[in-house]
Amino acid sequence: MFQEKWREVGDLPTSIASYAICVSSRPFTPERINEDPATFHARSFDSNEQALWVPELSARRTLVLGSSQSADTIDLPHLDTQRIGIATRRSGGGAVLVSSVDLVWFDVVISRSHPQWVDDVGHSFTWLGEACAAGLKTLGVDATVHRGRMATSKWAPLICFAGLGPGELTIDGRKVVGMSQRRTRNHARFQVAILRHWSGAEHAAMLNLDPAEKAQAAIDLEYVGVGLPHSPSEILNAIFAQL
């Protein structure tokens, strides 16, 4: 089972741009952001009282590494062959494969004065995970919010969806929603990635491993993630209605 193994990012429709949501009487208006993944990750957020950013993803894939992840862990010639770009984000965790085919992505920024602010970073995602779960439920998706400690695995330092943190979501033990965050003294930026497509073999092929290790990684990674069949607009509208 998934828990036993773990051991305790298409162009968005115009309708998303005008979809208003509300958290504790503080309205959010989604803002479409047309930036490449590296530029979007580097976007300043500590002057915003609150924000909801929805990056426009292209079909071209980009592998986004965690802030402390070395490019030496990645099979760069393979990425070149597959025409997969590479970038580094400023939050931690393993690599995330970003494209309109692979995931849906949005960021939420709040200030310390916001009703959903939680000082404890181990619980700061919970409200957002619950909103995602409630939204997915309206689409007929029964997702579970992880409320325990960070669950890790051999591949978690390399691949984001091979680990499970508080507030993240699973379906039948397979991760479907991943989150990361950046914080300053007075602001938090939550990054939310919802899978639309998952392949353990594709992710294993991107790692800088010998052939035997890649084969094992493909087996281990195949059932850690699961994608949703819904369109980006269906997913985002369902979740935004619950925030």
Q: Which domain holds residue 134?
A: 2-240
Q: Given this model, what pLDDT does residue 59 score?
A: 93
Question: What is the mean pLDDT, run by run of 10 residues, along the chain of 243 residues?
Answer: 36 42 62 91 88 94 93 97 94 92 96 91 90 97 93 93 96 96 93 97 98 97 97 96 88
CA-CA-CA-CA dihedral for 63, 73, 178, 215, to nearest 10: 100
Name the residue among 41, 95, 99 with its Cα closest to residue 72.
95
Q: Given this model, what pLDDT does residue 26 score?
A: 65
Contact 181, 124 (CB under 8 A): yes
For the chain, what is the domain count? 1
Q: Given this model, what pLDDT does residue 19 score?
A: 41
Q: Given this model, what pLDDT does residue 162 score?
A: 97
Q: What is the CATH number of the domain that holds 170?
A: 3.30.930.10
Q: pTM of the entire structure?
A: 0.87
Instruction: Work out the angle at residue 224's Cα, subtended by the Cα atoms of residues 221 and 228, and round it to the nearest 5 degrees.
Output: 120
Round to whole Å and give the CA distance between 62 and 40: 13
